[in-house]
Structure 1
Amino acid sequence: MAITPTFSARPRVLVVGGGYVGLYTAFNLQKKIAKTGGIVTLIDPLPYMTYQPFLPEVAGGNIEARHAVVSHRKHLKHTELIQGSVTSIDHENRTAVVAPANGGENFELPYHDVVMAAGAITRTFPIKGLAEAGIGLKTIEEAVALRNQVLSLIELASTETDPAKRARALTFVVVGGGFAGIETIAELEDMARAAVKLNDRVDQSELRFVLVEAMGRIMPEVTEAQALWVVEHLRSRGVEVLLNTSLDNAEENNIKLINLPDKSVAQQFDADTLIWTAGVMANPMVRSTDFPIEPRGRVSVNVNLQVNGEFGVVPNAWAAGDVAAVPDVTGGLPDGTCVPNAQHALRQAKRLAKNLWASRFNKPLKGYKHKNLGAVAGFGQWKGVAKIMGIQLKGAPAWVAHRGYHGLAMPTVERKFRVLMDWFITMFTGRDMAQLENLEAPRATFVAAATPKPKPAAAAPVEAPKAEAKEEATAGK
């Protein structure tokens, strides 16, 4: 007998997405909405929120993977949680269609208010071979896989006798010179060199790291002088920094790079590791709604974080974070909207929750306004760059500022404590250098052991010598 899941019939605040905006919106509203007889429902394909600024450190072995995510069920105890994806929204009729993560049948879910918090996905381009050869750094799973891959390739190269295959295994390419790309290549370079120190069969000079950036500078969030310092710093560590350069082809792991704008071939080589961090785009599911969408594919909102279209405010509809075109009154992107980053998403979520609650009582709403106080980035142990309230830092002071900021920004006290303990232990023991193998096929060893072995073929019976053969043998004597 099939069991049909039941969902609350109370007036619902539907939160679409469980990232920064979804987690904080649900957390700040769940008890208040419950006291008024309603319920907050959060829908996300994953059962956790990922603190993405920590992904480079997870990939580099400084932070345990599970400590960089926040469990929805543990911290949203007064929220109705549904693991699945919202495939479409009919706001005129206040219904959403949900596809369960376990593959069950889609169902409709009614709501009173909706919060679009679906975030962003990795933005890619139609480059041949990218889908087959590349890996992003947007999820915790990608960070873990990347860490294991780098360490496994170093181990593989240590026993490889073919020079071409050895060089291919020890070549690591990162496309994208923003914060994610710079921190990723720096952390992986740090980890790879530490791993090579433990392996006598690989020399440090064999490691090759290549950073590819299409623009003429990296890290637009810091000053030009700091960006130049970062380039010099990476090059001093042996990282090849290629500016005004683009990935043209990656078929069969053959990396073809071209110069911009003349599109001449810059370099061409083989690499087993290609990491793509060249930007993000709003979750395309928003196009399956009846909300107004601006040219960049984001939901149009006003400063109060209300969905706002050609005919004014859309009642009972809210949006924030990377999926929303939030006006930035302090100056952000060239189109006057907020930069898609964690700093804005965390603060917008808190403002959205307050405004949604105030709207229930017809109280005045407050517009979102946040002046960026600066930026911090870590490049491995005791290395980093920062710009805080106009003060420029680099090296160890910037690294301390980076850890201080993100330690405070990490959601929930429980997760802060776990991350701080990871950092504390790493200061004395170093990075965790153990790679985990066969995560994609964990049952392979058991299946091999449990599969009956074929029985050896029975030996053919030995025939007795014929009488004629015996006589001939006797006659020959």
Structure 2
Amino acid sequence: MRSGDPRAGEWRSRQTAPEPQKGMNTVTRPRILVVGAGFAGVECVRRLERRLSPDEADVTLVTPFSYQLYLPLLPHVAAGVLTPQSIALSLRRSSRYRTRIIPGGAIGVDLEAKVCVVRTITDRIVNEPYDYIVLAPGSITRTFDIPGLTDNAFGMKTLAEAAYIRDHVISQLDLADASQDPVERASRLQFVVVGGGYAGTETAACLQRLTHAAVKRYNRLDPALIKWHLIDIAPKLMPELGEKLGRDAQQILTRRGIDISLGVSIAKAAPEEVTFTDGRVVPTRTLIWTAGVVASPLMATLGAETVKGRLAVTAEMCLPNHDGVFALGDSAAVPDLAKGQEGAVCPPTAQHAQRQGRHVAENLIATLRNQPMRPYVHKDLGLVVDLGGADAVSKPLGVELTGLPAQAVARGYHWSALRTGVAKARVAANWALNAVAGDDFVRTGFQARKPAKLKDFEYTDAYLTPEQVRERVAEADRAKP
């Protein structure tokens, strides 16, 4: 039976689902472990809490932070349009919240022993047993073996990175204004963003607006010295938008003075300059790397089949040949049945992750209740790109929009996707205040004396190998009395 066959989930659920037992105590209740508090993990937990009675299962969530980050609005935080708290949605705000949170990150999973190895935020290593596991650890920034990249580039994947980049960009204006050296001044006022996808394009667009507005408050700085470079190895900007909207977005950014170079990447990154693959050397103190994402390294610890690093799962988002293992979101290659193409997988977008989270919860509940599972099918609703101010390009349900109508759709979509009323109120208030009063260009000094480059935020060296995971679990078993 093929992994994408809807009947596969039904067969597995009949074979493996235990009979529900009323009045279970805490020792015998099934233990559900959810890894990751992104769009997929949080939606899964919320659905489990609403649909499962307290005596049906114990739910545990592994996450370093007790909030869900609304990633699409990170560029707005970096540009100071939104406050960091606006897009960090608390997991403990609901009075109905009963999920146990382990503050840390999963660094390995032993599928045979059904144990997840977790490194807590205090660096303590703990083994967390489970009966069912939902793997939604998300993704990390994709990097390449480019000299100096991880030592000298900033990322745009976490709330801390967005807040740090804002401070850094404003500090470059301060330092350039204070400098008497024209060479230093010029290098501090050039900024390079690598990645012509949504994250890179929105980051360059929003931060360029920030510097364009801020430089008016620096009497000693010539606005013409501020230069933003957006580069990508692809031949087109945001090809997913289509030919017309991609071209429109490029024209908007070019009119603003952003230098766009396509078919170009980084050959070398140094503390005070960046070398492009076409031979150009750009003096700069700011390199922002947003050239795509890859699945969390956690997937490699399972020793299971992967597709370009993403865990290969069925249309029901189950891991073949392993009972009680579900995977979804950016780290799973979920078959895209809506496309009707052999081998097509769902793209790593928030839209799919949210719906997959709810769907996995329903399939897990069906397994617990000895009911058939359903395959995941969702047709993409469209794309939105917020370029700041009145500029945007959007493609809702295939309709191509630019300008204010596109901006209304983009912000309306993001606003409606926020999970709590408090978050919606904060974001709407921030947008309105920024539109009316502008920015104060305040630097908070966040981690000003500490390194904060790509290598310092994503902890990609923290994961175990499959052999190390098995060895650790076996040692823990031997140590039991």
Instruction: Establish whether TM, by shorter chain, passes 0.5.
Output: yes
Structure 1 partner of 2:281: 268
Structure 2 partner of 1:142: 161
Equivalenced residue count is 424
Q: Are the aligned partners of 1:332 and 1:339 in contact in 2 as well (CA < 8 Å)? A: no
Alignment of 1:304 onto 2:316? yes
Structure 2 partner of 1:454: none
Structure 2 partner of 1:152: 171
Given residue 203 of structure 1, which amino acid in structure 2 is its aligned partner? Answer: D
Displacement of 1:72 after TM fit?
Answer: 2.3
Pick which of 433-442 and 92-101 moved more.
433-442
Q: Any residues of structure 2 matched to 1:285-300 within 5 Å, and which?
A: 285-290=298-303, 292-300=304-312
Given residue 35 of structure 1, which amino acid in structure 2 is its aligned partner? Answer: P
Q: What TM-score results when the alignment is normalised by the length of structure 2? A: 0.84
Alignment of 1:359 onto 2:367? yes
Q: Are the aligned partners of 1:333 and 1:339 in contact in 2 as well (CA < 8 Å)? A: no
Q: Partners in 1 of 2:307 and 2:360 — Cα distance? A: 23
Displacement of 1:438 after TM fit?
Answer: 5.0
Question: CA separation of 1:147/1:9 partners in 2, compared to 1, >3 Å: closer, same or farther?
Answer: farther
Displacement of 1:288 after TM fit?
Answer: 1.4
Counterpart of 1:420 (choices 424, 428, 447) is 428
Q: Secondary structure at the match of 1:221?
A: helix
Q: Partners in 2 of 1:220 and 1:413 — Cα distance? A: 34
Displacement of 1:403 after TM fit?
Answer: 0.3
Q: Are the aligned partners of 2:307 and 2:333 in contact in 1 as well (CA < 8 Å)? A: no
Alignment of 1:19 onto 2:38? yes
Q: Partners in 2 of 1:251 and 1:8 — Cα distance? A: 56
Q: Partners in 1 of 2:385 and 2:376 — Cα distance? A: 25
Q: Partners in 1 of 2:333 and 2:340 — Cα distance? A: 11
Q: Partners in 2 of 1:402 and 1:214 — Cα distance? A: 26
Alignment of 1:164 onto 2:183? yes
Structure 1 partner of 2:457: none
Structure 2 partner of 1:119: 138
Q: Are the aligned partners of 1:120 and 1:281 in contact in 2 as well (CA < 8 Å)? A: yes
Given residue 135 of structure 1, which amino acid in structure 2 is its aligned partner? Answer: F
Counterpart of 1:91 (choices 91, 105, 111) is 111
Structure 2 partner of 1:283: 296
Question: CA separation of 1:359/1:73 partners in 2, compared to 1, >3 Å: closer, same or farther?
Answer: same
Displacement of 1:332 after TM fit?
Answer: 9.6
Displacement of 1:74 after TM fit?
Answer: 2.6
Q: What TM-score results when the alignment is normalised by the length of structure 1? A: 0.85
Structure 1 partner of 2:239: 220
Given residue 335 of structure 2, which amino acid in structure 1 is its aligned partner? Answer: P
Q: Partners in 2 of 1:32 and 1:368 — Cα distance? A: 19
Q: Are the aligned partners of 1:60 and 1:187 in contact in 2 as well (CA < 8 Å)? A: yes
Displacement of 1:435 after TM fit?
Answer: 1.5
Q: Partners in 2 of 1:416 and 1:332 — Cα distance? A: 36
Structure 1 unaligned residues grouped into runs of 5+: 1-6, 259-264, 443-477
Q: Partners in 1 of 2:426 and 2:28 — Cα distance? A: 37
Q: Partners in 1 of 2:341 and 2:185 — Cα distance? A: 43
Displacement of 1:9 after TM fit?
Answer: 7.3
Structure 1 partner of 2:3: none
Deviations 1:344-395 (A, max 9, x none): 1111111111111112122222211111121111111111111112211111
Q: Are the aligned partners of 1:13 and 1:41 in contact in 2 as well (CA < 8 Å)? A: yes
Q: Partners in 2 of 1:34 and 1:439 — Cα distance? A: 44
Q: Are the aligned partners of 1:33 and 1:39 in contact in 2 as well (CA < 8 Å)? A: no
Structure 2 partner of 1:471: none
Given residue 282 of structure 1, which amino acid in structure 2 is its aligned partner? Answer: A
Q: Partners in 2 of 1:438 and 1:420 — Cα distance? A: 25
Displacement of 1:252 after TM fit?
Answer: 3.1
Q: Are the aligned partners of 1:31 and 1:78 in contact in 2 as well (CA < 8 Å)? A: no
Q: Partners in 2 of 1:360 and 1:431 — Cα distance? A: 52
Given residue 105 of structure 2, which amino acid in structure 1 is its aligned partner? Answer: S
Counterpart of 2:208 (choices 189, 193, 196) is 189
Alignment of 1:68 onto 2:68? no
Given residue 172 of structure 1, which amino acid in structure 2 is its aligned partner? Answer: F
Q: Partners in 1 of 2:310 and 2:52 — Cα distance? A: 27
Counterpart of 1:345 (choices 338, 348, 353) is 353
Percent identity over paired residues? 36
Given residue 54 of structure 1, which amino acid in structure 2 is its aligned partner? Answer: L
Q: Which has the higher contact order (CA 8 A, sep 6+)?
A: 2
